[in-house]
Chain A
Amino acid sequence: MADQTLPIAGTLDLTPPRIEERVSVLEWLHGWVITVDHKRLGILYVVYSIVFLLVGGVEALLIRIQLAVPNSHFLAPEFYNEMFTMHGTTMVFLVGMPILFGFANYLVPLMIGARDMAYPRLNAFSFWLTAFGGMLLYYSFIGGFGLYGMGAAPDVGWWAYAPLTAKAFSPGHATDYWALALIVSGFGTLGTAINVIATTLSMRCRGMTLMRMPLFVWLMLVVSGLTLVTITPLTAAQIMLVIDRYLGGHFFDTQAGGSAVVWMHFFWIFGHPEVYVLVMPVFGVASEIIPVFSRKAIFGYPAMVAASVGIAFVSLGVWAHHMFTVGMTSVGNTFFALSTMLVGIPTGIKIFNWVATLWGGKIRFRVPMLFCIAFIFQFLLAGLTGIMLSAAPWNWQLHNSYFVIAHFHYVLVGAIVFNIFAAIYYWYPKVTGRMMSETLGKWHFWLFFIGFHITFDTMHFLGFMGMPRSIYTYEPDRGWNHLNMIISIGGMIQGIAVLIFAWNLIHSYLRGKEAGNDPWDAWTLEWSTPSPPPVYNFSADPEVRSRRPLWDLKHPDDPDWKYEQ
């Protein structure tokens, strides 16, 4: 059977000796700044996002302290508006997108057996554009009113509805920083999306056909395609906003015949698919982790691929469900209600397949798996409230209430953040060569899980009781006092959990136990390389014959390629 040995490079290679070279801090820093290595750029993306995750988390906690009791004056009203604007913008553009594209950067070339991305220099350029965008946004705290006055961050909401963004209503430069930061980081995202598509289609190793790619790679391919047509409308709308503000244009100037509703359409044409840009990579994460910790191949691989592509297409035609209360024709209402409900079908297929993968599996409840299992059920609930909100009459009642906040945080935290944590616990050994602490990880999981449910389950009820979003404070006689206090306590618990996570990241890097190449007994190509993988990943181009190349290697008597078609 010697002819059946797969030449998967890296497995046969010993870890190259890591010579502890003494380099000065400046040289070390220089090395990181000029790097074009996809793994280093991936790490830069993830570290950058985790820093902003902490910043955005602090902003969320400030909001929750302000809302914990009625008639509170913990924050000034203007500062409160800045906080919820910056919290939303940070979490979507400086945490969600960069961390997921960071995972893609690190993992896609490794998973498809490539030695780097298709365009390494474009890759570095995209990262630094994204990073510059984030710094530009936060510079507004200093320069928002111009350097002569007091600083101010954008305070127009992350959706920045016109005409509030007009020069007359938002003087100073805060809104300009917001628009320019999103344009700049948008170009970065576009560059990365193009890079991921080119890498996935043109850099696959021999035998890695499209239908043998790991699902994470598939999902990133779909997400990158969706990003191409999602980020650019936002860029277009931001360019229009900048033209309005700087050149005296009238796109969204209602005094001169412009339309505020057009901004809403343009923003949500971006804004809704954006949710899928954020959530689909974590579908990929779940589709990698759940099989490995259930000791079963993923159930219904082709259906998963088809469902992913289906979600991408459907997501492009649902944006106006954010605008039912603006007033549309009954045809418009019906169309967007039905198209939104349609999303439930491919998403349901996915949930079914994850559960079917668990079914009959030999489940190992390690920390990544705990996060993934919580993800499945939380994502299901988020989807159900989504279907409730897609019914236009229901939406008229609850739009812009805390029910909506609860719904989308169930997606963004309950699904996306949970799986981001799962991904970090799962791939941390590969990236650093060390395991993360399982004890601290369990503390992190349970505290975050409990805090999450205290906060966001309660928010649904607050929505039913009529509390609107984005309000500075409320009267004590509305009956919202206790629930708001509970929500804020839940927020604090989540904050503590994230601090444990941050401590775990640092502590395990210094003291964690050695991971070896393949600590989880996994099946995809990245686990065949040493941890951390050497520069250029593989010493020779690998060749694969099934979706689980490492399974084939470990079980030459019963390889997958015998059964897969």
Chain B
Amino acid sequence: MSAIPMSHSAEPWSLPSRGRVAMLSLIIGETALFTIFVVAYIYYIGKSLTGPTPQVLELPIFNTVCLLSSSVTIWLAERQIERGKMGPFAAWWAFTIALGVVFIVGTGMEWHKLIYLDGLTIHTNLFGTTFYSLVGLHATHVVVGLVMLTIVLLFTLTGRLNPSHNERVQTLALYWHFVDAVWVVVFTVVYIVGR
């Protein structure tokens, strides 16, 4: 055995990116958080004793299209920064933010209608409680995501972001993809199954 030269240092040694590991861990945790709210929503469907029912909801098709396409645009932005093209990156990134803002404004308009036209607030009945908390929890995540995306955009526009930050940008994009994926679940549960 001792005749074998122990040049272990030549062995390849690679470890997973810590950013990606941490973000995936956060996503696992967030998934559990959303699961509890989704379960509560499903369990309480049709259990309201008074007040408006889910029939007052309208399918937010335009909103959904905007949010889901923002996943595509952020992916296009990721590809641009990988190739080192900061101009197109900034453009796709800004477009992603715009789509997210449209989604949030759309949600705001929907809530405005529900509150003032249909008289549904968080304490009206069980439907109101579960609807606003589940959709609101998701909207909160969109807002947090938008804040972080905007910070990256500001760094890009001031020239502080360069292609070497590629991995960090992709880690953040992972969060945005997650927020979009959660919307697919929320949309299905709230607007299709629950209506």
Contact = CB atoms under 8 A, between A and B. Distances in A.
Interface of A: 1, 3-4, 118-119, 190, 193-195, 197-199, 201-204, 206-207, 224-225, 228-233, 235-237, 239-240, 243-244, 247-251, 256-259, 262, 266, 269, 543, 545, 562
Given A229-B28, A229-B29, A235-B33, A258 B8 contact: no
B85 to A, nearest CB: 29
A269 B48 contact: no
Interface stretch (B74-82, B90-98, B121-129): B121-129
Contacts of B25: 193-194, 197-198, 224-225, 228
15 contacts: A194-B25, A194-B26, A194-B29, A198-B21, A204-B15, A228-B32, A229-B28, A232-B30, A247-B122, A250-B125, A250-B126, A250-B129, A259-B43, A259-B44, A562-B1
Main SS at interface, chain A: helix
Given A198-B21, A248-B122, A240 B133 contact: yes
B2 interface: yes
A236 B126 contact: no
Contacts of B17: 202
Contacts of B6: 3-4, 545
B112 interface: no
Contact of A202 (B15, B28, B36): B15
A202 B33 contact: no
Contact of A232 (B2, B13, B29): B29
B61 interface: no
A465 B22 CA distance: 50
Contact of A201 (B13, B16, B122, B123): B16
A269 B8 contact: no
B9 A206 contact: yes
Interface of B: 1-2, 5-9, 11, 13, 15-18, 21-22, 25-26, 28-33, 35-37, 40, 43-44, 47-50, 122-123, 125-126, 129-130, 133, 137
B58 to A, nearest CB: 23
A197 B33 contact: no
B133 A249 contact: yes
A199 B19 CA distance: 10
Main SS at interface, chain B: helix
A272 to B, nearest CB: 14
A251 B22 contact: no
Contact of B22 (A194, A206, A249, A269): A194
Given A229-B28, A229-B32, A251-B44, 10 more contacts: A3-B6, A194-B29, A228-B29, A232-B30, A235-B33, A243-B133, A250-B126, A256-B50, A258-B44, A543-B8
Contacts of A1: 2
Instruction: Kindly list the 10 A-B residue pairs having the minimum CB-CB distance in the complex, ordered from nearest.
Output: A248-B123, A202-B18, A236-B36, A249-B129, A228-B29, A232-B32, A232-B33, A198-B22, A229-B32, A257-B47
A542 to B, nearest CB: 12
Contact of A233 (B8, B32, B44, B137): B32
Given A249-B123, A250-B129, A256 B49 contact: yes
Nearest to A5: B6
Contacts of A202: 15-18, 21
A197 B29 contact: no
Contacts of B15: 201-204
Contacts of A232: 29-30, 32-33, 36
A222 to B, nearest CB: 13
Contacts of A266: 36, 40
Contacts of B44: 251, 257-259
Given A197-B22, A198-B25, A203-B15, A256 B36 contact: no
Contact of B43 (A207, A256, A262, A543): A262
A251 B123 CA distance: 10
B28 to A, nearest CB: 5
A236 B33 contact: yes
B9 A247 contact: no
Nearest to B15: A202
A527 B174 CA distance: 39
A119 B50 CA distance: 49
Contacts of B125: 250, 256-257
Contacts of B126: 250-251, 256-258
A118 B16 CA distance: 12
Given A198-B21, A257-B49, A207 B13 contact: yes
